Each structure stands twice: as structure tokens, then as C-alpha cells.
């Protein structure tokens, strides 16, 4: 039989509270810091710093921080617009829009983020516009960050509905490598087979994983579309890299930086070696553009007209592009070929990891691209 007696928290705490005891004071700083590191979110940490003098002294010592930027100001002054300024209905492989997409309407380095994200920031009133603070300003009070993740509100490269485009890039003082996974149509609702199906090649109507790219790929705009994807993704990565210059300079404790977007389209990564190179070598900025200059690159392209994955996901026009600067040999930052292969294989999660594996078995086509 359950006891009818009930114990209330206030009955236990009231005598001690009356004596002025605060048990939280007995929690060691190391444990509080562990909690703050799990919290990570820069906005929440900023609010915590306003709770007490103790919290205010401990928050700057966190190792991990995540900064989410809510608002981006584009060249035209609009918020949250497409980074490349090209209407959706005009994208899809029209080469005439390539130069416009590349050079005229690239998203400014996200130097304005909502002021309410500053540490402990309080609104300026109902009608007053919030102040704008750069990510570097928001993070300036964090003196011991080792792992930093920043998240932008929108994807850099606009695509039509149903189009797959994901990229991951590694930068030091400039581009070290980039992998791009694309598809002209992504179908997540296909029925999964009882066994993992092989990828299909429409032009050969067999499962030859080394099939050639069909002639129609060159004549129906398919290659032009991949060029737009590639250059647009590199510009997005170079723009994010340029944004980090002040942050990396002011936080010498950094060991890893990830700059992604809320939609998960692309990610810029920098590890300890890349951060050191970024600090030691001068940054080559592109003329009249707030981004890092992209060097001349070699590209390895693999293509499959159709990929059907084990979970039923289907990718039409599946394309994998691996990019390395001209003259770079081996893996990332001068590492071995094995390091590069591992980076490519682990670039994406879920079904996209399987897609990369399937495309990696395809025939490789070599392309070259000038710096810009």
C-alpha cells in the first residue's frame, strides 16, 4: 500500500533557505563549465552570464560554442535572399546566368547578425530597430573557445525544389579541398527494396558502374548545370572563409571551426593545422569581392544517370565532384591520398554517404578550372 504522506520540495528546502544557504555555491566550477560546454549555444550562454558574477566569470571560459545567425543582409539590402541573386526559374543550367551568379550578386560576408544574440543582449524597445553585431563582436568575450560552430540562416546557393546540392570544403589560408554532391531530382518516397539495389545507368541499361557519361549530358545543359553548382559552391565556401578572418585572429585557442547553414547544404571546416596556416599566411582576397580568392583547381567528376539507394531514395543525375588546387598532391593540406579518400567518404551522413560510395566506383572524368 502506498503511503499517503507527501513530501514537498519546499518543506525540505525552506529551513535551509531561511538560514541563507545556497547549495549551488558548493558545485565546483569545473562541473558548471561542463554544463556550459554542453549548452554551447552562444545566446543561452550570454543569458547565463547575466545571472551572477560567478556565471559571468565562467561563461568566457567555455570550450565549445555555437553561434546561430538569424539575419543576413544581401547586396540588395533584402534579408534572407538567395546568395547568388539568380531567380529560381532561371537557374537550371543556363550558362548565360553563370557570370551573373558568380561575380555580381554574391552574398556579403555575413557581417550583420541580429543584435539580440549578443551576450545577454536586451531589446531596445518595441519600435527601435535592433543593433547589428558581427559574429566577431558576439564572440569577443569568449576567450577560451576550442570548438566553434556557426550556423547561417539560409543556404548560400539557391536551387529549385527537388534538386540535391550538398558540399563540404576545407580551407587553410585558401582552399585545400572541396567535395560536392548533386542531383537534378531527389525522390525520398521511393519504396525500398528488400536488398540494397545497384545503381542504374540509363544510357547503357545495365549495372556497369564504369559506364560513360551519355552524350545528352553535354547537349541538354547537364554539364553547364554542374559547372554552375561547382562555382557557386566554391564561392559560398570562399565567402564563409573570408568571414572567419577576424574570428580566427582573435581566438588563438581555436582547434576546430565549422561554418554551416540551417538547411545543411554546405559546410566549411578548419582543423588545428588549417587554422594555424590561416593565421600564419596572408589571406588572398578576391578583387572587389568579400571572399577569399579561389585558386586554379583540378576536378574529378563522377556521374550516374540514376542512383537508387538501400533506403529507397532515388537520385537522378547524381554527380560527385572532388576539387583540389592545381599543384596540390595527396590529401588535405599535403596529406596522403588515403586522407583525401577518407574525407570524401565521410563528407556526408545518411543516404548521401551511400551515394558517395556508389559514385566513387564510377568512371572518373578530369576537368580543370582557372582561379577566380
| Residue/partner pairs of 209-217 with CB below 8 Å, 24 or more apart | 209/358, 209/361, 209/362, 210/361, 210/362, 210/363, 211/304, 211/362, 211/363, 212/363, 213/303, 213/363, 213/365, 214/305, 217/303
User: pLDDT digits over 45-94, tens only?
Assistant: 888 888 888 888 999 899 999 998 875 544 344 444 443 333 344 333 33
- 124: pLDDT strictly greater than 50: no
pLDDT for the residue 215: 74
Task: Give 214 or 19, the one with higher predicted confidence.
Answer: 214
User: pLDDT digits over 165-200, tens only?
Assistant: 999 999 999 999 999 999 999 998 655 444 444 443
Mean pLDDT of 121-147: 68
Of all residues in the chain, what percent are helix, strand and coil, respectively (each to 5)?
A: 35, 25, 45
Q: Which residue has the cell 588546387?
A: 325
How much of the chain, in percent, has pLDDT values that exceed 70?
68
Phi, psi of 254 (to 5 degrees): -60, 135
pLDDT for the residue 123: 42
pLDDT for the residue 41: 86
Mean pLDDT of 97-102: 40
Q: Which of 69-78, 92-101, 220-229, 272-281 has the highest mean pLDDT?
A: 272-281
pLDDT for the residue 46: 83
- Domain borders along the chain are 16-62, 64-369
pLDDT for the residue 329: 66
Q: Which three three-digit cell numbers place residue 288? A: 572587389
Task: Give 61 or 129, the one with higher predicted confidence.
Answer: 61
Q: What angle do CA 99, 239, 327 make, to 5 degrees?
A: 80
User: pLDDT digits over 32-49, tens only?
Assistant: 888 888 888 888 888 888
- 292: pLDDT strictly greater than 90: yes
- 336: pLDDT strictly greater than 90: no
Amino acid at each position: 500500500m502506498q503511503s499517503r504522506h507527501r513530501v514537498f520540495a519546499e518543506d525540505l528546502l525552506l529551513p535551509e533557505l531561511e538560514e541563507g544557504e545556497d547549495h549551488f555555491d558548493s558545485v565546483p566550477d569545473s562541473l558548471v563549465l561542463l554544463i556550459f560546454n554542453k549548452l554551447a549555444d552562444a545566446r543561452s550562454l550570454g543569458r547565463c552570464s547575466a545571472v551572477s558574477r560567478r556565471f559571468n566569470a565562467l561563461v568566457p571560459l567555455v570550450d565549445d560554442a555555437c553561434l546561430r545567425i538569424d539575419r543576413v543582409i544581401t547586396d540588395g539590402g533584402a534579408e534572407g535572399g538567395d546568395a547568388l541573386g539568380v531567380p529560381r526559374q532561371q537557374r537550371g543550367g543556363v550558362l548565360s546566368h553563370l557570370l551573373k551568379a558568380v561575380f555580381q550578386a554574391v552574398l556579403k560576408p555575413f557581417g550583420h547578425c541580429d543584435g539580440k544574440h549578443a551576450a545577454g543582449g536586451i531589446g531596445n524597445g518595441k519600435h527601435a530597430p535592433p543593433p547589428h553585431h558581427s559574429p566577431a563582436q558576439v564572440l569577443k568575450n569568449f576567450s577560451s573557445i576550442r570548438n566553434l560552430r556557426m550556423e547561417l540562416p539560409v543556404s548560400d546557393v539557391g536551387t529549385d525544389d527537388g534538386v540535391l546540392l550538398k558540399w563540404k570544403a576545407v580551407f587553410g589560408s585558401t582552399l585545400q579541398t572541396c567535395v560536392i554532391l548533386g542531383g537534378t531530382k531527389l525522390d525520398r518516397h521511393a519504396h525500398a527494396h528488400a536488398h540494397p539495389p545497384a545503381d542504374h545507368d540509363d544510357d547503357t541499361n545495365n549495372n556497369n558502374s564504369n559506364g560513360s557519361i551519355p552524350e545528352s549530358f553535354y547537349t541538354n545543359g547537364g554539364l553547364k548545370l554542374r559547372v554552375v553548382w561547382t562555382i557557386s559552391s566554391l564561392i559560398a565556401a570562399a565567402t564563409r572563409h573570408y568571414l572567419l578572418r577576424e574570428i580566427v585572429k582573435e581566438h588563438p585557442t581555436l582547434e576546430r571551426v565549422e561554418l554551416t547553414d540551417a538547411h545543411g547544404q554546405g559546410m566549411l571546416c578548419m582543423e588545428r593545422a588549417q587554422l594555424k596556416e590561416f593565421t600564419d599566411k596572408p589571406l588572398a582576397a578576391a578583387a572587389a569581392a568579400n571572399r577569399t580568392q579561389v585558386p586554379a583547381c583540378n576536378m574529378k567528376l563522377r556521374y550516374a544517370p540514376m542512383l537508387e539507394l538501400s533506403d529507397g531514395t532515388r537520385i537522378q543525375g547524381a554527380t560527385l565532384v572532388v576539387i583540389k588546387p592545381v599543384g596540390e598532391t595527396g590529401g588535405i593540406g599535403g596529406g596522403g591520398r588515403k586522407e583525401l579518400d577518407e574525407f570524401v567518404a565521410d563528407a556526408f551522413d545518411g543516404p548521401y554517404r551511400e551515394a558517395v560510395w556508389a559514385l566513387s566506383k564510377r568512371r572518373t572524368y578530369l576537368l580543370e578550372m582557372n582561379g577566380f
